[in-house]
Copies of this chain bind each other. A is one copy, B any other.
């Protein structure tokens, strides 16, 4: 019974450490953050942190993997929401933009601290990024084949569409005039123009 009741508590502790790590990395960057900072922000001792996570890099890896897996799921769900390429593109760009505005703090770490991962962890994250890019590129190609889109280079169009969304994490801050929802709707319209479906 102790074992069973300890498991959720360990999960909650791990989650608290991830949240603390996101805050610390956002404030001081990965390299400027110590495990002591993270433990302190989570109200724990550095020794207690090591019970749950092997290293600071492991925390970054978990934040990055969760963020990328969430993004891939979001992109797949949005694209699957319609057989019509115009509608699928509208949905995926809307959702992708809203996600990066609402979760801008985590998204900055996920996108701008990749160089701090070990080569092995980076390789794993890179695969998920390729899947995300592949999903979007395939949608653009499907739209071109169906005649709904007119794009000179589907690869670059895919990069540009993702770029717009990712860069929201750089410039968006709470208290902005624009709501995430409004940015999502506006960026969906811009995306349709980029693929020549306006």
* Contact assessment for A152 and B29 in the assembled complex, using a CB-CB cutoff below 8 Å: no
| Interface flags, A114-140, vs B, CB<8A=1, else 0 | 011000000000000000000000000
The answer to the question of A76 belonging to the interface, with a C-beta cut-off of 8 Å to chain B, is: no
The answer to the question of A194 belonging to the interface, with a C-beta cut-off of 8 Å to chain B, is: yes
* Contact assessment for B32 and A190 in the assembled complex, using a CB-CB cutoff below 8 Å: no
Taking CB atoms, residues of chain B closer than 8 Å to A31 are 28-29, 31-33
* CA–CA, A193 and B160, complex, Å: 12
The answer to the question of A43 belonging to the interface, with a C-beta cut-off of 8 Å to chain B, is: no
* Contact assessment for A152 and B112 in the assembled complex, using a CB-CB cutoff below 8 Å: no
Q: Is the interface of A mostly helix, strand, loop or mixed?
A: helix
The answer to the question of A153 belonging to the interface, with a C-beta cut-off of 8 Å to chain B, is: yes
User: A44-52, A84-92, A164-172: which lies at the B interface?
Assistant: A164-172
* CA–CA, A196 and B160, complex, Å: 17
In the complex, the chain B residue whose C-beta lies closest to that of A178 is B156
Task: A31-B31, A160-B187 are known; give 14 further A-B pairs, CB within 8 A.
Answer: A28-B31, A29-B29, A29-B32, A111-B170, A156-B183, A156-B186, A157-B190, A163-B163, A163-B170, A163-B171, A167-B170, A193-B193, A193-B198, A194-B194
Query: A residues touching B (Cβ–Cβ < 8 Å)?
Result: 27-33, 111-112, 115-116, 152-153, 156-157, 159-160, 163-164, 166-168, 170-171, 178, 183, 186-187, 189-190, 193-194, 196, 198
